[in-house]
């Protein structure tokens, strides 16, 4: 049993301290680290934002969100979690610095407050990533010594497309070494995502059939009932493709598709993941219409809530052409995956919240059972349920008791909840802890991000050139064209929300 040690003393500077990410996810995650004794009383937080405010104002704002499931605090003004003893241990070690992100005085003031190890978390609009890093560099805040690390955590989206991601990398590498950069993809903080590696590389029965001889195709789904809500300003300029595909869904694809690393150190794992992402074939411009689908939700009901038409959402342009749903068929050009389509889909305002990977196996070569219709037995499938109802199941065939041999589908189910306490975590705990202890395994490297953009760039270009997303009713499974995408290949999507 490996026991995690306490992270070293450090100051975490959060740019965007009054934003949603800080209160819903980052600070609750740090409280969980305090609870697990993984950060000590030599850990402190400096929150930076351009709004007026002081230490108490920031701490009061955070009170609402402590101890709430998945960042749902604040809605009813209930501060039930505010007395949490672990939060109280951290609360006094949080201070506020009012300052403009583009003003050198902010960084001078920050310099006066920091000695020793420091990590700078950019929980800001993406436009500030480059300028903040440049100012930190100019102020000398990124210089490391033997006794003091300096690290920068960058939220997604990293760039808006391939050229902007390359430009951002070039900019920040003027001030930082790659080993100081932690590009976050919070999907990698999820236990169930990390479990894909264990499911594959610790189980002979899995890895032995994990290739194009036995696998027919792979489906990766991240369906959400939530809509754009109050995030219109960000989302309308981003869309479902940029928000979810080259980052979150490609990380899942990489976990499923990577070769076994030589060891579990950060660079070995990141090398293997980078190879798979680089092997995703970018569709030819003339093929975009047949391999990619975009949709936009219209009014309806999703997840027990009435939903506006996307174009009527706050901060969304009434003539917006932004997609809230994407489905795409991608091929991975490698020895292992040649000929195996990866179908990816994600969308908002859908029938259920359901993030899953479905690996569908090829049919047996010959089914000799009388009564088995035309040898088309239902396929074996492995369903890796990322969230909710975390687990892994395998659909196999069994003989239905009776005088004739009739194979029927049954499922071997592993549910996390039956074996482990997953506890109440945000997914950021692991990522923050790893960053503080200098482990980059679960963070994206520049080459992964750039290959991700490269693979989707022809689709983004084709969509920018014209056309409209296909409307789908909120609360449905998405646009009809997504079903047609698989039907053309004689396949069908796994039902959304099967386990919810």
The Cα–Cα gap between 456 and 446 comes to 16
Active-site annotation holds for 248:
yes
DSSP 356-371: EEEEEEPPPS----TT
How many helices (H) and strands (E) the chain has is answered by 18, 17
Determine if 355 is a binding residue for ligand BG6 (CB under 6 A): yes
The Cα–Cα gap between 40 and 10 comes to 9
Least separation, in Å, of the C-beta of 41 and ligand BG6? 30
Q: Which of residues 187-226 bind ligand BG6 (CB under 6 A)?
A: 224
Determine how β-strand 292-298 pairs with β-strand 325-330: antiparallel
Where are the extended beta strands (E) located within 314-361?
A: 325-330, 342-347, 354-361
Least separation, in Å, of the C-beta of 458 and ligand BG6? 23
Residue 172 near residue 129 (C-beta atoms within 8 A): yes
Residue nearest to ligand BG6 (CB): 243
Q: Is 58 left (phi over 0), alpha (psi -120 to 50) or beta?
A: alpha
Determine if 22 is a binding residue for ligand BG6 (CB under 6 A): no
- Please enumerate in sequence order all residues whose Cβ is within 8 A of that of 469, keeping only pairs 6 or more positions apart, or say none: 294, 295, 296, 321, 322, 323, 324, 325, 479
Least separation, in Å, of the C-beta of 406 and ligand BG6? 39
Catalytic residue, chosen from 175, 186, 217, 248, is 248
Nearer of residues 175 and 296 to ligand BG6, judged by Cβ: 296
Nearer of residues 355 and 380 to ligand BG6, judged by Cβ: 355
Of 225, 297, 284, the closest CA to residue 500 belongs to 225
Least separation, in Å, of the C-beta of 147 and ligand BG6? 35
Least separation, in Å, of the C-beta of 427 and ligand BG6? 6
Least separation, in Å, of the C-beta of 355 and ligand BG6? 6
The Cα–Cα gap between 288 and 73 comes to 42
Find the binder of ligand BG6 among 243, 356, 395, 454 (CB under 6 A): 243
Nearer of residues 320 and 334 to ligand BG6, judged by Cβ: 320
Least separation, in Å, of the C-beta of 121 and ligand BG6? 15
Residue 428 near residue 412 (C-beta atoms within 8 A): no
Nearer of residues 15 and 235 to ligand BG6, judged by Cβ: 235
* Token pair listed for 295: 């949709």
HSE, side-chain direction, 13 A CA sphere, residue 20: 9
Residue 221 near residue 323 (C-beta atoms within 8 A): no
CA 91 to chain centre: 28
Which DSSP symbol is given to 298? E
Q: Which of residues 29-48 bind ligand BG6 (CB under 6 A)?
A: none
# binding residues, ligand BG6 (CB under 6 A): 4
Nearer of residues 221 and 355 to ligand BG6, judged by Cβ: 355
Least separation, in Å, of the C-beta of 155 and ligand BG6? 8
Residue 383 pairs in a beta bridge with: 358, 393
Nearer of residues 425 and 457 to ligand BG6, judged by Cβ: 425
- At 499, phi and psi to the nearest 5? -100, -5
Determine if 450 is a binding residue for ligand BG6 (CB under 6 A): no
Q: Which of residues 142-161 bind ligand BG6 (CB under 6 A)?
A: 156
- Please enumerate in sequence order all residues whose Cβ is within 8 A of that of 450, keeping only pairs 6 or more positions apart, or say none: 162, 165, 166, 169
Nearer of residues 48 and 223 to ligand BG6, judged by Cβ: 223
The Cα–Cα gap between 343 and 220 comes to 6
Nearer of residues 283 and 469 to ligand BG6, judged by Cβ: 469
Residues contributing to the site for ligand BG6 (CB under 6 A): 156, 224, 243, 355
Residues serving a catalytic function are 248
């Amino acid at each position: 049993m490996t026991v995690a040690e306490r992270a070293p003393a450090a100051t975490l500077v959060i740019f965007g301290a009054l934003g949603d990410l800080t209160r819903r996810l980052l600070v609750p995650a740090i409280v969980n680290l305090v609870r697990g004794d993984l950060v000590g009383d030599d850990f402190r937080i400096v929150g930076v934002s351009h709004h007026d405010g002081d230490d108490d104002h920031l701490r009061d704002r955070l009170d609402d969100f402590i101890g709430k499931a998945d960042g749902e605090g604040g809605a009813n003004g209930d501060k039930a979690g505010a007395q949490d003893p672990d939060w109280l241990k951290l609360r006094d070690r949080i201070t506020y610095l009012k300052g403009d992100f583009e003003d050198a005085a902010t960084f001078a003031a920050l310099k006066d407050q920091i000695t020793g190890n420091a990590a700078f978390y950019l929980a800001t609009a993406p436009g500030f990533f480059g300028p903040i890093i440049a100012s930190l560099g100019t102020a000398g805040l990124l210089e490391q010594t033997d006794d003091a690390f300096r690290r920068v955590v960058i939220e997604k989206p990293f760039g808006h497309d391939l050229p902007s991601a390359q430009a951002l990398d070039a900019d920040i590498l003027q001030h930082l070494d790659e080993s100081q950069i932690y590009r976050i993809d919070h999907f990698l903080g999820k236990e169930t995502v990390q479990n894909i590696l264990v499911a594959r590389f610790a189980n002979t029965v899995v890895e032995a059939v994990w290739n194009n001889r036995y696998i027919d195709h792979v489906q990766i789904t991240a369906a959400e009932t939530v809509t754009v809500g109050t995030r219109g300003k960000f989302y309308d300029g981003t869309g479902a493709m940029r928000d979810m595909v080259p980052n979150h869904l490609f990380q899942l694809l990489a976990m499923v598709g990577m070769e076994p690393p030589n060891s579990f150190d950060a660079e070995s794992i990141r090398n293997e993941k980078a190879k798979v992402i680089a092997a995703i074939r970018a569709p030819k411009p003339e093929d975009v219409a047949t391999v990619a689908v975009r949709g936009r939700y219209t009014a309806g009901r999703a997840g027990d809530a009435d939903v506006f038409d996307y174009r009527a959402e706050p901060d969304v342009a009434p003539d917006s052409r932004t997609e809230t749903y994407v489905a795409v068929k991608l091929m991975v050009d490698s020895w292992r995956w040649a000929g195996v389509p990866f179908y990816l889909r994600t969308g908002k305002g859908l029938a259920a919240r359901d993030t899953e990977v479905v690996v569908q196996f090829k049919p047996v070569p010959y089914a000799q059972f009388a009564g088995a219709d035309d040898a088309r037995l239902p396929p074996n499938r492995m369903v890796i349920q990322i969230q909710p109802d975390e687990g892994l199941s395998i659909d196999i065939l069994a003989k239905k008791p009776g005088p004739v041999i009739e194979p029927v589908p049954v499922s071997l189910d592993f549910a996390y909840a039956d074996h482990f306490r997953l506890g109440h975590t945000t997914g950021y705990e692991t990522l923050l802890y790893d960053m503080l202890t200098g482990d980059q395994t679960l963070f994206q490297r520049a080459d992964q991000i750039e290959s991700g953009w490269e693979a989707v760039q022809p689709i983004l270009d084709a969509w920018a050139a014209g056309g409209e997303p296909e409307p789908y009713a909120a609360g449905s499974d998405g646009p009809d064209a997504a079903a047609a995408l698989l039907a053309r290949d004689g396949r069908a999507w796994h039902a959304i929300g099967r386990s919810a």
